[in-house]
Amino acid sequence: MNVLRHLLAGQLWSPAGFEESVQLTFAAGRVCAWDAIPPHPPGADGVLDARDAIVIPGLVDVQVNGALGWSFQAQHRAHFDAIVAHHLTAGTTTFLPTLITAHETTLTASLALLADYCAASPAATLPGIHLEGPFLSPEKSGAHDPAALRLPDEALLARFLAAANGQIRIVTLAPELPGALELIRNLTSQGIVVSAGHTAATYAQMQAAVDAGLSFVTHAGNASDWPHRAPRPEGFWGSEPGLVGALLADERLSGSVILDGFHFHPALVAPLAKLKAPHGLVITSDASTVAGCPPGEYSGGGLIATVHAAGYATSGRDGRWLAGSTITLLEAVRRGVTLAGLSLHTAVELASAVPAHHLGLAERKGHLGVGADADCLVLNEDLSLRCVIARGRVVSEQ
């Protein structure tokens, strides 16, 4: 891996737009200077010439379950390395390894090993763990193992937190379950983001959860309810906003969407991004165990899935449910542009600066200002990937 001193960018993403002809200077893995490219730019070793390309910040994913048939429940560091390499070389320089619903013994062992792995600072930045389950609704279990679901339990949560040794950053749960509000208060008091997902919560239940400290929605519109008609005490079918309606209506709520073209209709992404601006919408891959796998049947890491030739995966427990995505976050950015009609600037923002904001990493991640980590991607004009740089080192060249 080559250590860079300078990066010459033809177009460089900034919070205000794309800047032209910028020379970035790196030192000790950080951006230390921004300058106009001089008439005679530096050459030789340590200089990457991307004057014909687009440079964007390294992408930040709040939900990565695995890749290549491996999951973060595999409990083998070699498998973790393979997952990290798959996503890092595709442009995701920071992400939350995600553990889905499993029985207590599996989850506690996985949390302990994964916490140590995150703290060891591998090639990508892993700022903590996203625990998605087991406190989820049986009605909305999706690809999760329904036999391993649990009601909210303070003692069980304490065992999970102890095993994770301070590394849990997000917990996804169903806020309508009995005891959930107590867990939300407990988690938020420790600085952990609590997110609603795999839930049948009504608008009223979501309001109570937000009042208790819940602030996020996991993969909105998937394994959760859209606005619909529901029976009212008066006897008629009234309007029920559901989880998606709560996200739309409550300024205190932010959320993520899986932008693979299958999980969330692309036509809704741009208006949702506009409504929830500037920090209310995040693009995630929700890359599953089968991300990067060819079509076929797969089982492992708590997931039973079929990968289809069209590029989506369905759950082997119930083929009507999608089983996470098969893509990486850069592909989600591309589809944001090509399918959802987002500008490249907005698509990058939703996959870098906004998730960095929610993870408390905005000073270091999601931009390339002075003092930021030197994490960036070099893209060709067609948005294909040319180069990945992490902490000032070239980690992948196409």
Class of domain 59-358: alpha beta
Confidence of residue 141 (pLDDT cuts 50, 70, 90): confident
CA atoms of 196 and 200, how far apart (whole Å): 10
Mean pLDDT of the chain: 94
pLDDT (tens digit, 9 = 90+) per residue, 228-252?
898 888 888 989 999 999 999 999 9
Please tell me which residue in 286, 373, 375, 382 is annotated as part of the active site. Answer: 286
- What share of the chain in percent tops pLDDT 90? 84
In the chain, which segments carry CATH 3.20.20.140?
Answer: 59-358
CA distances from 393 to 48, 73, 162, 387 (A): 11, 29, 34, 10
> Which residues on adjacent β-strands are paired with residue 7?
24, 48
Give the residue-averaged pLDDT of 18-40: 95
Give the residue-averaged pLDDT of 136-149: 92
CB 386 within 8 A of CB 54: no
39 φ/ψ angles, rounded to the nearest 5 degrees: -55, -35
Look at phi and psi of residue 376 and say left if phi exceeds 0, alpha if psi is from -120 to 50, else beta. beta
Res 8 pLDDT > 90: yes
In the chain, which segments carry CATH 2.30.40.10?
Answer: 6-56+369-397
Res 45 pLDDT > 90: no
CA atoms of 124 and 93, how far apart (whole Å): 5
pLDDT reported for residue 303:
77
- What share of the chain in percent tops pLDDT 70? 99
Return the amino acid letter for 87. Answer: H
Q: Report the b/e string of 82-120 with b at 16+ CB within 10 A.
A: bbbbbbbbbbbbbbbbbbbbbeeebbbebbbbbbebbee
Strand order in the sheet with 303-307: 296-300, 303-307, 313-315
Is 286 designated active site? Answer: yes
Per-residue DSSP letter, 179: T
* Residue whose tokens read 């996503």: 87
Class of domain 6-56+369-397: mainly beta
296 φ/ψ angles, rounded to the nearest 5 degrees: 160, -175
CA atoms of 358 and 253, how far apart (whole Å): 11
pLDDT (tens digit, 9 = 90+) per residue, 247-298?
999 999 999 999 999 999 999 999 999 999 999 999 999 999 999 999 999 9
User: Which pair of tokens denotes residue 175?
Assistant: 């806020």
CA distances from 91 to 88, 98, 201, 209, 239 (A): 5, 18, 35, 34, 42
